[in-house]
Amino acid sequence: MHKFLLLFCIIIIGSCNAKTTFDATVNFEKIEVEKQGGKLKPDSAYEVSAEYYNPTNAPVFLKDSILKHTKLLFASWFDLKGQFDLNASVKKHFDEYCKQITENNLPAYIAFILNIAPEDVYQNEHIISFTYNWMVYEGGAHPNSGKYCFVVDKNTGRKVSYKSLIKGGEAEFLSIAETEFKTQSGINPDEKIPEPYRFKDGKFHLADNYRVTSKGLVFYYDPYEIAPYSFGIIELKLPYEKIERLIKWNLK
């Protein structure tokens, strides 16, 4: 009897200590919200059009992580404390916007036009990579726009930086990336990266904003990050044939 109880306890303890994995395909639905205020007064407008990926079959820890990092994009404009209710948050923002217009002495022209659209979700056995496009216009000479990307580990839910995927030294990876940047920008590989590109301290670096695709890693520098606004979003593609030997997918 005692031997049976001891064996039972060992099995239970071992089960509790065992790490769980989730390597199934995560399915998603797109949640959409739209709000149009039209012209609230002469030359004033309000328009929100947004979508995001909502996981439908992910375990709780993974779903919570995905929505947590998704909220960070929307939190740039909306109050998202507590439950992730984008419709309610947009309505609150719209009401406050209308109050500003009617109660305050604002300029003749005021606008809030926001568009957030999912571009891609890619996953393999170990990670899920999300890419969103965003554009906002709040008056002024031009709208602002950019990419919002994040990658999560399927097994832990943790956000994955590109440095987490590199095995061995980062220096070799950066050297390959700089060569690819020069090639894709039409710069001689033997030359320094010229103006108008401006990297901090004059040293090439990779953008923190990146995504994983079936063909390689793609890095995005937002307008003004390393070049003038007129350059737009600068995209750097690192194909697997150049970097695959330096990449690790199993992050345990």
Task: List the structure tokens of 95.
Answer: 């009401």
pTM of the model: 0.84
User: In degrees, to the nearest 5, what angle opens at C-alpha 138 toward C-alphas 132 and 140?
Assistant: 120
Percent of the chain with pLDDT over 70: 85
pLDDT of amino acid 118: 95
Q: Tens digits of per-residue pLDDT, 105-115? A: 665 456 788 99
CATH superfamily of 162-246: Heat-shock cognate protein, ATPase (3.90.640.20)
139 has pLDDT over 80? no
Confidence of residue 82 (pLDDT cuts 50, 70, 90): confident
| Listed residue (33, 148, 51, 143) closest to 93, CA to CA | 33
Higher pLDDT, 128 or 20: 128
Asked if 237 and 218 count as a contact pair (C-beta separation under 8 A), the reply is yes
Domain boundaries, the chain: 28-153, 162-246
236 has pLDDT over 50? yes
25 has pLDDT over 50? yes
Query: Which residues lie below 8 Å from residue 117, measured CB to CB, with a gap of 6+?
Result: 49, 50, 51, 132, 133, 134
From first CA to last CA, the distance across the chain in angstroms is 38
What separation in angstroms does the CA of 150 have from each of 24, 29, 65, 190, 194? Answer: 19, 18, 11, 33, 30
Confidence of residue 41 (pLDDT cuts 50, 70, 90): low
Q: Which class does domain 28-153 fall in?
A: alpha beta
Q: Average per-residue pLDDT in the chain? A: 85
